[in-house]
């Protein structure tokens, strides 16, 4: 078996094992991952099953890949209640990212020991392990970005149209995983156009514009198509092309309701720089050294890697500085593959690349004479200690607001009664109350369409129930009419959350603003359920009059 196959399946098993331990074993489930599971489940098991139920606020790749596994939740509901289908999705994607890092080193002709060192450091980095096993979109996005980086690096040498098309296809898929890929798609398109023009000479610029434009279109078209097709389908079905910005469930509304965006540009830029550095602490040394060596060797491969990955980091910095996103460490995850690729680029190119069809500007690399011991040792030394830095930073509430509860998983303590430890325990208990609420409602054996709720917070209830058709949710085409006249449509219960913060976007609260406090003269309080999870609402179950 090829080394890459052993590497892929070994990493998949590792990330799958860690993910199952964190989710099923410790109950550590991130809300974004569970909400994607809920979207996939509504496609199969809602009262109105259809593919559009997957939603258009977030890009669809993460949920679409889970559809086959989610189908099995009809027999094993635990697959969705613990976000296991998300783990089954993210583990192989992150393993694919690891394989691409290995192949970048192999394409470069680096020493075998250096390839394995850099690959192992990347694969075992705590952030890579964590996001390889938690069902978030970062795994699929990183896999596509590493694939695009490798293919663009190859194209700089081979000028092979197959490498260019593969890079463009990877960027298109990356957009379907995260919106950040739009920045990378634009940057790569400009880079390819400039490289094609420059390496064919300036004497006859008009004649060179046609192949340059063709190359730019080939690499940029998949991302452009992914953007326009997704926006068009959203507009045709929902009437809104960019729901991420215009919908009450979108990121802009979430920021307004939660107050998570930055208000100081300088502080935001400094914070973004700190986030990139804790993920890639070797970058301040690697970047100038790799740049100097690339200039000396006239090596475009280093620049290709920088263009792909720093465009995402730049977009994350810009977004946070302008108050468009949250201060999450995961948005800067591309610093990790950038560090790994630059470490491999310190070594002079070795064996010639194997290409399918060399382009007119391609060339055969000459094998480097002698063992590149010094740059290889320097590269290994710069990256080998970085997982420790990243791991320590992940336990900081300031730098890692979504991961620091891992301290109570890695270093549990039954005697520590500090406020921080209690907060970590509550984070680990997130969605446990929703699972209990789902069991309570299931035990009532209610008929179809008996419970009406929005999935702003209710997604965790929906993923845990064994009777999903009991619930009326926003993806149902009759949701609005049922919401307006619940009693006439056979609704017996309304699930309500406080009409504040994220609860302001809850459709039930928007229709009945006083429901949570008074019942809005349409229902009486049946049950109040205090929440064990951190930043999770106290639920109220109202019986419809």
pLDDT digits (tens, 9 = 90+) for 478-521: 999 999 999 999 999 999 999 988 888 899 999 999 999 999 99
Structure tokens at 91: 């583990």
How many percent of the chain have pLDDT more than 90?
67
Q: What is the pLDDT of residue 322?
A: 86
Closest CA to 70 of 62, 79, 61, 78: 79
3-state secondary structure 287-346: HHHHHHHHHHHCCHHHHHHHHHHHHHHHHHHHHHHCCCCCCCHHHHCCHHHHHHHHHHHC
Query: 350-380 pLDDT, tens per residue?
Result: 766 666 666 555 555 555 544 456 667 777 7
96-106: pLDDT as tens digits: 999 999 999 99
DSSP line for 14-58: HHHHHHHIIIIIT----HHHHHHHHHHHHHHHSSS--GGGG-SSS
Query: pLDDT class for 144, splitting at 50, 70, 90?
Result: very high
Which CA distances in Å does 325 have to 34, 254, 277, 315, 371? 20, 9, 19, 11, 46
Please name which of 300, 445, 424 lies closest in space to residue 28, comparing C-alpha atoms: 424
- The H helix count followed by the E strand count for the chain is 26, 5
Q: What is the pLDDT of residue 301?
A: 87
pLDDT for 465 beyond 80? yes
The closest of 184, 131, 192, 191 to 161, measured between CA atoms, is 192
Q: pLDDT tens digits, residue range 169-209?
A: 999 999 999 999 999 999 999 999 999 888 776 666 666 78
Nearest-angstrom CA–CA distance, 457 and 31: 9
Residue 430 has pLDDT above 60, yes or no: yes
Measured distance CA(121)–CA(419) in Å, rounded: 34
**What is the percent of the chain with per-residue pLDDT over 70, rounded to a whole number?**
93
pLDDT at position 360 is 55
pLDDT at site 324: 84
pTM of the model: 0.93
Q: What's the rounded Cα separation, in Å, for the pair 395 and 403?
A: 7
In this structure, are residues 505 and 248 in contact, taking their beta carbons and an 8 Å threshold?
yes
Q: What is the pLDDT of residues 212-271, one digit of tens each?
A: 899 999 999 999 999 999 999 999 988 888 887 777 777 777 777 766 667 788 898 999
Whole-angstrom distance, CA of residue 126 vs CA of residue 13: 16
* Mean pLDDT of the chain, nearest integer: 89
The rounded distance, in Å, linking the Cα atoms of 3 and 506 is: 50
Write out pLDDT tens, residues 28-80. Answer: 999 999 999 999 999 999 999 999 999 888 899 999 999 999 999 999 999 99
Q: Is the pLDDT at 427 greater than 80, yes or no?
A: yes
Instruction: Write out the H or E segment, with its range, that includes residue 494.
Output: strand 493-496
pLDDT at 16: 97
pLDDT at 461 over 60: yes
């Amino acid at each position: 078996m090829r080394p890459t196959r052993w590497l892929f399946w070994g990493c998949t098993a590792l990330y799958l094992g860690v993910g199952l331990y964190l989710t099923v074993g410790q109950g550590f489930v991130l809300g974004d991952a569970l909400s994607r599971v809920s979207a996939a489940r509504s496609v199969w098991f809602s009262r109105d099953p259809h593919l559009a139920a997957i939603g258009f606020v977030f890009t669809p790749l993460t949920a679409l890949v889970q559809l086959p596994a989610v189908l099995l939740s009809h027999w094993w509901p635990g697959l969705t209640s613990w976000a296991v289908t998300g783990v089954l999705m993210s583990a192989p994607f992150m393993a694919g990212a690891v394989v691409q890092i290995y192949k970048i080193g192999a394409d470069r002709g680096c020493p075998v020991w250096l390839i394995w060192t850099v690959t192992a450091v990347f694969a075992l980095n705590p952030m890579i392990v964590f996001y390889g096993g938690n069902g978030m979109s970062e795994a699929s996005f990183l896999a596509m970005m590493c694939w695009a980086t490798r293919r663009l690096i190859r194209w700089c040498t081979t000028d092979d149209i197959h490498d260019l098309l593969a890079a463009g296809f990877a960027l298109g898929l990356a957009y379907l995983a995260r919106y950040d890929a739009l920045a990378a798609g634009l940057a790569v398109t400009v880079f390819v156009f400039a490289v094609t023009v420059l390496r064919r000479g300036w004497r006859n610029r008009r004649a060179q514009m046609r192949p340059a434009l063709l190359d730019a279109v080939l690499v940029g078209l998949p991302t452009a198509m992914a953007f326009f097709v997704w926006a068009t389908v959203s507009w045709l079905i929902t009437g809104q092309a960019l729901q991420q910005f215009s919908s009450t469930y979108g990121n802009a509304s979430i920021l307004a309701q939660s107050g998570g965006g930055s208000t100081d540009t300088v502080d935001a830029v400094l914070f973004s720089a700190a986030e990139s550095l804790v993920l890639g602490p070797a970058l301040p040394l690697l970047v100038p050294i790799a740049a100097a060596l690339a200039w000396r060797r006239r090596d475009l491969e280093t620049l290709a890697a920088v263009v792909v990955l720093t465009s995402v980091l730049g977009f994350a910095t810009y977004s946070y500085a302008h108050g468009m996103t949250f201060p999450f460490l995961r948005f800067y995850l591309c610093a990790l593959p950038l560090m790994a690729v630059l470490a491999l680029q310190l070594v002079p190119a070795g064996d010639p690349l194997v290409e399918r069809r060399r382009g007119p500007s391609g060339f055969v690399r000459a094998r480097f004479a002698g063992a590149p011991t010094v740059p290889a040792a320097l590269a290994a030394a710069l990256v080998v200690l970085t997982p420790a830095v990243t791991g320590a930073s992940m336990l900081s509430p300031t730098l890692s607001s979504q991961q620091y509860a891992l301290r109570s998983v890695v270093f549990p303590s039954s005697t520590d009664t500090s406020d921080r430890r209690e907060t970590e325990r509550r984070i680990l208990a997130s969605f446990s109350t929703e699972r209990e609420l789902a069991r309570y409602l299931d035990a009532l054996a209610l008929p179809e369409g008996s419970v009406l709720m929005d999935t702003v917070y209710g997604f965790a209830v929906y993923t845990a129930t064994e009777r999903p058709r009991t619930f009326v949710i926003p993806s149902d085409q009759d949701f609005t009419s049922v919401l307006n006249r619940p009693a006439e449509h056979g609704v017996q219960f309304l699930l309500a959350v406080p009409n504040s913060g994220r609860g302001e976007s809850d459709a039930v609260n928007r229709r009945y603003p006083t429901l949570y406090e008074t019942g809005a003269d349409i229902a009486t309080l049946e049950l109040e359920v205090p929440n064990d999870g951190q930043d999770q609402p106290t639920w109220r179950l109202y019986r419809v009059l």
